[in-house]
Structure 1
Amino acid sequence: MQLLLSNPLLILRWLALIGCAAASGQLLHALALPAGLFLGPMLTAIAFGVSGAGLRLHKQVFRFGQGCVGLMVAHSMSWTVLAALAQSWPVMLITTLLTVLLSAMVGLATVRYGGISAATAAWGTAPGAASAMVSMAEAHGADPRVVATMQYVRVVCVVMIGALVSHLLGAGDIASKALVPAASTPAVQLNQLLPCLAVIVIGITLAAKLPAGALLAPLLIGSALQLSGLMQIALPGWLLAFAYGAIGCYVGLRFDRATVRYVGSRLPTMIAGATGLIALCAGCAWLLAWVTGHDFLSMYLATSPGGLDAMAIIAVETHSDVGLVLAMQTLRLFAVIITGAFCARQIIRLAKA
């Protein structure tokens, strides 16, 4: 804070980022693009980061944004949704295994044809838990800068393609009618807002060490309180807009000039690998939707490789099956963390064969 106050130019950069991020988010939202309030700030932050603005959003702001999204999703949970999820566990398990297998195949292809080292590609193509993968990659001797870039390039591709697919399937017309109709209300009373903020703060504090814990803990606590009738979740639209923007700016600002210069020659390979994995997962989603009778958009969002918070935002805004999307994304998140080291060893072994 002291550094910020002593540097007027830095203050102006932050004000410019906030103003441009808010304007771009509102513009995309007005154009009926699903997750526009998230996508606009993310693209704006990428532009600021690559242009050399030198800004970094504090991780606690990002975690607070995740907590808001988690509580928003908790509003969609009901006993009916939980019963439906309990019946869908075979589909969720098969889909999780397929996604992990496909990501390993893409990682191996990246090594063979993209010129990226086996250890780095193995961690960089893991479908989810970006921050955890970067930490684990560094501990196993991979280049954390390339792994981080691969992870966040995939997140950007997943968000943009997910928003586009949702728009093409007609979900944008639903998303344009309200920010989040289920959880957001025009006027939230203070006695409704304070318990929600308390759940968010308690959740992100208790789950500080867990991957995606800032999203999952408020989701679980809020769901339990709502299902028991102890709390009614109601979040003001401005708070959700702030949460979307915080998550988008945090992801976007991870791309700075030095990182892009360092991995510049590898960026085409990273983008090709990310889009290839998305396309393979989309094919699996189509097959599973046909077999199970679920709608394609819900299954597509559920199988998209990474971006748990982003997929939650798009799922809620497009009135998809939020329970299915969050359950499958969360299951894969923990599967990736548990199997990450094993998959990395296998990719390295096969790359040397």
Structure 2
Amino acid sequence: MAGQPARSVMRWGVGSASARQWLKLVVLSVVICGFLLWMHAPAALLLGPLLAGVILAANGGKVVFPVSLFVVSQGVIGCLIARMVPVSIVGDILGHWPLFTVGVLAVVAASSLLGWVMGRLRLLPGTTALWGSSPGAASIMTIMAEDYGADVRLVAFMQYFRVLAVAAAAALVAHLFGVDTSAHAPSAIVWFPPVDAWPLAETAALAIAAPYLAKVLRIPAGAFLVPMVIGIVLVHFGLMRIELPTWLLAGAYAFVGWNIGLRFTKPLLVHAARSLPVVVASTLILIALCGAVAGLLVLGAGVDPLTAYLATSPGGIDSVAIISAASGGDVSFVMAMQTVRLLAVLFLGPPLTRFLAMRAT
């Protein structure tokens, strides 16, 4: 997933300068969202704030907001997926475990091979290539990279640039292979629909309490996964109904997008400038390799192209979830494979990366 917010965006800003930065960010987000909605782009409410954050941060802008808002936003996205994904997701994984095993291991192997090759060719310093190429769990890979002698700033740039690139590529694939995009026209959006107060209160409680539980239990990516799992169970047994009005989803999408985009600060871009061609090339190669794995799922298992691509995308699980929910893919299949791969990366990624790093150097 996209990871925790950077330290520079963890407090409320005060004063007129901060207010101007917020105004710029919001206005720019609205303008870009409006254009993307006019173009019928999938996940426009995520990509608009994401691009606005990139533009603002790259031009020296700085916006600060509490970690709690981002965490709750992840909880809201988890509730969204819980409303869409049936409890049979576990049965889907168990019933198609060979397919999931091949898909997950192929993506992990492709990313590890790419990082190892770049390390052997000395295209990037030290073990940076390996840590930067690890798929998913961006925040965890960035933190661990520093402990093993990698350039943590370059690793962070590689990880979050890939999240950005994967989000853009997934939106493009969704546009090419998705459902009729006319259903997502701006005129069809009802920003303030009528809502039931009690289900909305239950949803808000789940979005707030479940991420806190994940933090107490120290579950990686738990701010998104825990409310998703709890929500699926509660909805399946009729214990709650998830209520997510458009304005609430738009706010959650905005904070997730801003958290990614605002990381692309000018100092980070300047530091990464010399390695930019290698980073861009490696990102595109990894996306292409994962696209090849998606092609195998299409040809060998009959999975539709949009679902296959989203399921194998090496980006943040939260951004892929938003795009999947907005574009008409098989959300259950996508989230099942993304979740299995996230767990595989969390458990296998660090020892595998250390093993390859020793041999790459």
CA–CA distance in structure 2, aligned partners of residues 175 and 204 of structure 1: 32
C-alpha displacement at 1:90, in angstroms?
1.6
- Equivalent AA in structure 2 for residue 29 of structure 1: L
Q: Which residue of 2 aligns with 1:103?
A: 111
Post-superposition CA distance 1:15-69 (Å, at most 9, x none): 2111211331232123211111111111110010010012244322221111111
- Equivalent AA in structure 1 for residue 27 of structure 2: G
Instruction: Judge conservation of contact 2:32–2:48 (CA < 8 Å) in 1.
Output: yes
Where do 1:106-117 residues align within 5 Å?
106-113=114-121, 115-117=123-125
CA–CA distance in structure 2, aligned partners of residues 141 and 349 of structure 1: 12
Q: Which residue of 2 aligns with 1:274?
A: 283
How many residue pairs align between the two structures? 349
- Equivalent AA in structure 1 for residue 137 of structure 2: A
Q: Which residue of 2 aligns with 1:186?
A: 193
Post-superposition CA distance 1:127-184 (Å, at most 9, x none): 0001111111122232221111110010011000110111122436166158999xx9
Post-superposition CA distance 1:68-124 (Å, at most 9, x none): 111000011225555434312221111111111000111123324462124211111
Distance of aligned partners of 1:180 and 1:143 in 2 relative to their CA distance in 1, 3 Å threshold:
farther
Q: Percent identity?
A: 37
Instruction: Judge conservation of contact 1:108–1:118 (CA < 8 Å) in 2.
Output: no
TM-score (norm 2): 0.91
- Equivalent AA in structure 1 for residue 154 of structure 2: V
Distance of aligned partners of 1:2 and 1:151 in 2 relative to their CA distance in 1, 3 Å threshold:
closer
- Equivalent AA in structure 2 for residue 76 of structure 1: M
Secondary structure of the structure 2 residue equivalent to 1:265? coil
**Pair 1:299 & 2:308 matched:** yes
**Pair 1:253 & 2:262 matched:** yes
Q: Which residue of 1 aligns with 2:19?
A: 11
**Pair 1:168 & 2:149 matched:** no
**Which shows bigger deviation, 135-144 or 226-235?**
135-144
CA–CA distance in structure 2, aligned partners of residues 315 and 343 of structure 1: 29
- Equivalent AA in structure 1 for residue 351 of structure 2: F
Post-superposition CA distance 1:247-267 (Å, at most 9, x none): 001100001011111111111
Instruction: Judge conservation of contact 1:123–1:147 (CA < 8 Å) in 2.
Output: yes
Where do 1:215-254 residues align within 5 Å?
215-254=224-263
**Which shows bigger deviation, 216-225 or 163-172?**
163-172
C-alpha displacement at 1:13, in angstroms?
0.9
Q: Which residue of 2 aligns with 1:60?
A: 68
Distance of aligned partners of 1:179 and 1:328 in 2 relative to their CA distance in 1, 3 Å threshold:
farther
Instruction: Judge conservation of contact 2:81–2:228 (CA < 8 Å) in 1.
Output: yes
CA–CA distance in structure 1, aligned partners of residues 49 and 11 of structure 2: 26
TM-score (norm 1): 0.93
Quote the RMSD (CA, aligned, Å): 2.2
Where do 1:32-181 residues align within 5 Å?
32-79=40-87, 81-113=89-121, 115-171=123-179, 173=181, 176=184
- Equivalent AA in structure 1 for residue 54 of structure 2: I
Secondary structure of the structure 2 residue equivalent to 1:299? helix
Distance of aligned partners of 1:180 and 1:344 in 2 relative to their CA distance in 1, 3 Å threshold:
farther
Instruction: Judge conservation of contact 1:146–1:263 (CA < 8 Å) in 2.
Output: yes
Q: Which residue of 1 aligns with 2:3?
A: none
Secondary structure of the structure 2 residue equivalent to 1:235? coil
CA–CA distance in structure 2, aligned partners of residues 242 and 115 of structure 1: 40
CA–CA distance in structure 1, aligned partners of residues 287 and 281 of structure 2: 10
Instruction: Judge conservation of contact 2:12–2:64 (CA < 8 Å) in 1.
Output: no
CA–CA distance in structure 2, aligned partners of residues 48 and 153 of structure 1: 16
- Equivalent AA in structure 1 for residue 134 of structure 2: A
Distance of aligned partners of 1:179 and 1:88 in 2 relative to their CA distance in 1, 3 Å threshold:
farther
**Pair 1:312 & 2:321 matched:** yes
Instruction: Judge conservation of contact 1:34–1:166 (CA < 8 Å) in 2.
Output: yes
Post-superposition CA distance 1:210-260 (Å, at most 9, x none): 221111011011111100101111200011011111100110000101111
CA–CA distance in structure 1, aligned partners of residues 21 and 50 of structure 2: 16
C-alpha displacement at 1:192, in angstroms?
1.7
CA–CA distance in structure 1, aligned partners of residues 188 and 106 of structure 2: 31
Instruction: Judge conservation of contact 1:56–1:253 (CA < 8 Å) in 2.
Output: no
C-alpha displacement at 1:324, in angstroms?
1.0
Post-superposition CA distance 1:251-291 (Å, at most 9, x none): 00001011111111111211111111111111111111211
Distance of aligned partners of 1:56 and 1:274 in 2 relative to their CA distance in 1, 3 Å threshold:
farther
Instruction: Judge conservation of contact 1:57–1:253 (CA < 8 Å) in 2.
Output: no
- Equivalent AA in structure 1 for residue 153 of structure 2: R
- Picking from 189, 205, 220, the partner of 1:198 is 205
- Gapped regions of structure 1 (runs ≥ 5): none
Secondary structure of the structure 1 residue equivalent to 2:115? helix
CA–CA distance in structure 2, aligned partners of residues 154 and 180 of structure 1: 32
